[in-house]
């Protein structure tokens, strides 16, 4: 797969025939990717609202540990959707990891969130997108949403959970 992060390898050489084919394939998908990115931008607030409503029911003790936890959760989830959309547009999972997920995982571990909490939150995000999105939009976003679930829930169980 040819992605934004590995295009740099072409700086000093011509692409191979296979790389050219992948570039043409990507170029032909740009319009659909832009539509999917626009769709996610438009539905983003509702997606995050769905998630946060359910998380408040599932984790009512969050304010006990994190005074502004749900407000920050709303902000963080909305921001993550922006990065997910951007990574999908550029067809680049590594971009998502490098620009946001590695940092977010470290941050959330420091908050003593559990792997289950993380999985619940980001699964709710994915399922809300699935419910609201056009099938083609969801098909383009789904690998990035699922990757986010797996990447962010791959944390150790904290010794003192704060959820």
163 is a domain residue? no
DSSP class of residue 8? G
pTM, 2 dp? 0.91
DSSP 17-29: HHHHHHHHHHHHH
pLDDT tens digits, one per residue of 32-53? 999 999 999 999 999 999 999 9
Q: Is residue 15 part of a domain?
A: no
What is d(CA 95, CA 6) in angstroms, rounded to the nearest whole number? 10
In-domain check, residue 13: no
Residue 53 and residue 31: Cα distance in Å, rounded?
Answer: 33
Position 63 in a domain: yes
Which pLDDT does position 141 carry in this prediction?
98
The residue range of the domain holding 125 is: 30-153
Looking at residue 22, its pLDDT comes to 86
> Which of the residues in the chain have pLDDT under 70?
1-6
The answer to whether position 100 is within a domain reads: yes
Length of the chain: 163
Q: Please report, for residues 9, 24, 93, 139, 151, the alpha-carbon distance to residue 18 in angstroms, rounded to integers and kept in the order given.
A: 14, 10, 20, 24, 30
> Which residues fall within 8 angstroms of residue 139, CB to CB, at 6 or more apart?
none
Evaluate whether residue 72 is within a structural domain: yes
92 domain-assigned: yes
From residue 9, give the alpha-carbon distance in Å to each of 5, 69, 108, 125.
Answer: 9, 42, 33, 34
The CATH number of the domain where 54 resides is what? Answer: 1.10.490.20
Q: How many CB atoms lie within 10 A of CB 38?
A: 13
Counted domains in the chain: 1
Q: Is residue 126 part of a domain?
A: yes
pLDDT, tens digit (0-9, with 9 covering 90-100), for 9-32: 788 889 999 889 988 989 999 999
């Amino acid at each position: 797969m040819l992605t934004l992060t590995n295009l740099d390898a072409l700086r000093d050489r011509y692409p191979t025939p296979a790389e050219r084919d992948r570039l043409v394939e990507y170029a032909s998908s740009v319009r659909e990717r832009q539509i999917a990115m626009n769709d996610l931008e438009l539905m983003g607030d509702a997606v995050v609202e769905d998630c946060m409503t359910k998380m408040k029911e599932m984790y009512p003790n969050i304010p006990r540990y994190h005074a502004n936890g749900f407000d920050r959760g709303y902000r963080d989830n909305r921001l993550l959707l922006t990065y997910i959309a951007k990574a999908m547009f550029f067809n680049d999972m590594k971009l998502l990891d490098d620009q946001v997920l590695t940092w977010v995982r470290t941050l959330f571990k420091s908050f003593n969130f559990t792997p289950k909490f993380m999985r619940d939150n980001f699964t709710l995000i994915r399922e809300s997108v699935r419910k609201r999105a056009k099938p083609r939009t969801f098909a383009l976003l789904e690998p990035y949403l699922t990757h986010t679930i797996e990447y962010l829930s791959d944390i150790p169980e904290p010794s003192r959970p704060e959820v």
